[in-house]
Structure 1
Amino acid sequence: MRATGVFFAMFVLFGLCVRAQDLESLRWKNRVILLYTHSLDHPEYKKMETGLQADAAGVATRKIIIFTIVGEQVSRGLPAEIWEKLGPRAGRIPDLAEGFRLELIGLDGGLKYTTTTATPREQLWALIDGMPMRREELRTKGNP
């Protein structure tokens, strides 16, 4: 099941038509947070948006790119302002029975974390900072 999730996440990222970005240009350079929601007013989405915007330095230090996906539209960065249509290869959008879903994709393109509730920024940072490649970054570069 996990392999299916990883394949789906890679498939979605590959199909994103965001300023000519594709999975290959992000892999090994950036971690990706996908925020799926029915509405930008959804309370779980708002919590994530507020929390991530409050620590732009933490986002940048961890090499995170954030995408918001509403229906068949995608926006890069926060706040979600510039919208583009998902590419034809984007695959199906995950079930949003709760109206919100967060997916964290690692540098290797693998799905590392998924939830249907807002995750405190500190918890996300701890998860990312515990990943082997991030630990190596911290060890070799002395990043905070």
Structure 2
Amino acid sequence: MRLLLFSLLMLGMIGERPKKLEDFKWKNRIVLYFPQSPTLFQELSSELNMGIRERKIHYFVFGEQLNTNSEVDFSKAYVAELIKKYKSNCKDDCWVLIGLDGSIKLRMDGELDWVYIFKTIDSMPMRRSEIG
């Protein structure tokens, strides 16, 4: 009986989806993208997806709906909080790169620039240790 209860408890913990960005800390890098006009999210190439996975990036595109490569359980109130916190002072498209430590590494205006994001991540000491 104890083994069954333990197994059910573990399954519940494993299947729980992140509810906040902090749940990714020390596990994943985060890219938040805030397009000015709500557009349909475009599928990414397999090469780009491979680079994103290799660098442990979870991205979130805040358009008409939240598009992401992660299974999350963000409430509508939390999404609104993220928009208010990270999109402030942005009059055009903008994006934010958050590192493994949870701190903002880049905040840029304009469309997502994956090449620049990858170069920035690849120059970070923790990424170098992952590669090396």
TM-score range, shorter chain: 0.5 to 0.7
Partner of 2:20: 22
Letter paired with 1:131: M
Q: Distance in 2 between matches of 1:131 and 1:84?
A: 32
Residue 131 of structure 2: SS of its match in structure 1? helix
Residue 90 of structure 1: SS of its match in structure 2? helix
Residue 87 of structure 1: SS of its match in structure 2? helix
1:35 counterpart = 2:30: no
Give the direction of change, closer, same or farther, for the CA distance of 1:118–1:61 in structure 2 (3 Å limit). Answer: same
Q: Deviations over 1:60-107 (max 9, x none)?
A: 000000011237x533239xxxx9624288262423312x11100000
Give the direction of change, closer, same or farther, for the CA distance of 1:70–1:86 in structure 2 (3 Å limit). Answer: farther
**CA positional deviation for 1:120:** 3.4
Contact 1:75 / 1:84 at 8 angstroms: preserved in 2? no
Partner of 1:75: 67
Contact 2:59 / 2:68 at 8 angstroms: preserved in 1? yes
Partner of 1:94: 88
Matches within 5 A, 1:1-144: 19-41=17-39, 53-54=44-45, 55-70=48-63, 74-77=66-69, 85-87=76-78, 90=81, 92=84, 93-98=87-92, 100-139=93-132
Partner of 1:12: none
Give the direction of change, closer, same or farther, for the CA distance of 1:29–1:40 in structure 2 (3 Å limit). Answer: same
Give the direction of change, closer, same or farther, for the CA distance of 1:89–1:117 in structure 2 (3 Å limit). Answer: closer
Contact 1:37 / 1:96 at 8 angstroms: preserved in 2? no
Contact 2:39 / 2:63 at 8 angstroms: preserved in 1? no
Partner of 1:4: none
Gaps of 5+ in 1: 1-18, 140-144
Gaps of 5+ in 2: 1-16
What TM-score, normalized to structure 1? Answer: 0.62
Q: Distance in 2 between matches of 1:87 and 1:134?
A: 29
Letter paired with 2:30: V
% identity of equivalent residues: 29
Residue 137 of structure 1: SS of its match in structure 2? helix
Q: Distance in 1 between matches of 2:108 and 2:34?
A: 11
Count of matched residue positions in the alignment of Structure 1 and Structure 2: 108
Q: Distance in 2 between matches of 1:38 and 1:88?
A: 16
